[in-house]
Amino acid sequence: MKEVVSIIKEQFQNWGIIWRISNYEDQASYQNHYLGLAWEYLYPLIQIGIYWIVFSGGFKKGSNLDGVSYLMWMVIGITPWFFMNRAILDGSKSIYQRVNMVSKMKFPVSVLPSIRIIGNLNSFWTMLVFSIALGFFNGVYPAVQWLQWIYYFICMMALMFALSIFNSTVSVLVRDWQILLQSLMRMLFYLSGVLFNFQTTGFPAPFVRILQLNPFFYVINGFRNSMFHQGSDSYMWSQPILTLIFWGVVLFFLLVGSHLHYKFRSRFVDMI
């Protein structure tokens, strides 16, 4: 636990560096493009359009889910997923790609995953604003339950930080981990309820309960329930067991990731 506290403390102590470097890397990534940083906002919107055409127009044919249009249901689910997917994959490569920079500057290696997480927030805010605007056109208006987004945003960031500390360290120790992680994220895309509501599509109840243990589902479903506020299940305290399991998963990866990080951080440069 001491290692976890130390890593979290390093994030707060170096917050200014995290913010400045994440902004710099965003600008550097698009400096040779005509539209520049506009791609940070256009790319997620293009992805939404593609998924809507394929899954709404092609497969779902515009049907509703619990009184909500499929496009609206899909967009609010894909918003946190799109961010989490990019944050995890970028965070897993953060130490491997930037460790030489740390060796020349005085700030802890543990901030590198946080830089990539913060750097991906622009697309998340863009998609969230788009989701809210789309909701107005679909008769979904602000409600008290929307305040729960603050809680689920904290859940999402905590999960991203715990997994990024773990994945970024393991990616240095095991080079094949990055390839395996990419395949795992593709599989989780379909098992996290992003495109399909497996709770109401005839899946066996035991299978649904297993899928609900997925921490990505917890975040995605939380954002959806908060926006559509349908029934008693829309409140964040309505599923205490799933909440305990989610935070247990976060704590597990944070503890293991922090231990591995501190154990091998002095040897990262040599390993790479």
Of 63, 50, 122, 64, the closest CA to residue 90 belongs to: 122
User: What number of residues does the chain have?
Assistant: 272
Residue 42 in this model has a pLDDT that exceeds 80: no
Residue pair 35/42 in contact (Cβ under 8 Å)? The answer is yes
Rounded to whole angstroms, the maximal C-alpha distance in the chain is 57
Residue pair 256/166 in contact (Cβ under 8 Å)? The answer is yes
pLDDT band for position 268 (50/70/90)? confident
Of 111, 117, 157, the closest CA to residue 14 belongs to: 111
Residue 256 in this model has a pLDDT that exceeds 90: yes
The Cα 73–Cα 241 span in angstroms is 25
Residue 58 in this model has a pLDDT that exceeds 50: no
Q: In the prediction, which pLDDT does 61 show?
A: 46
Q: In the prediction, which pLDDT does 102 show?
A: 65
Of 2, 189, 191, 178, the closest CA to residue 90 belongs to: 178
DSSP 3-state of 68: strand
The structure tokens listed for 155 are 């859940």
The Cα 116–Cα 125 span in angstroms is 15
Residue 66 in this model has a pLDDT that exceeds 70: no
pLDDT digits (tens, 9 = 90+) for 201-251: 566 777 778 888 899 999 998 998 888 875 556 667 778 899 999 999 999
The Cα 155–Cα 76 span in angstroms is 16
Instruction: Tell me the CA distances in angstroms from 194 to 23, 26, 136, 171, 202, one per residue in order.
Output: 29, 26, 21, 26, 17
Phi-psi region of 142 (alpha: psi -120 to 50; beta: other; left: phi over 0): beta
Domain boundaries, the chain: 2-271
Q: In the prediction, which pLDDT does 54 show?
A: 62
Give 205: exposed, middle or buried? Use CB within 10 Å, 0-12, 13-18, 19+: exposed
Of 214, 207, 206, 204, the closest CA to residue 184 belongs to: 214
Instruction: Tell me the CA distances in angstroms from 240 to 23, 96, 148, 174, one per residue in order.
Output: 37, 38, 15, 36
Return the H-helix or E-strand segment holding 65. Answer: strand 64-65
The whole model's pTM is what? 0.85
pLDDT band for position 131 (50/70/90)? confident
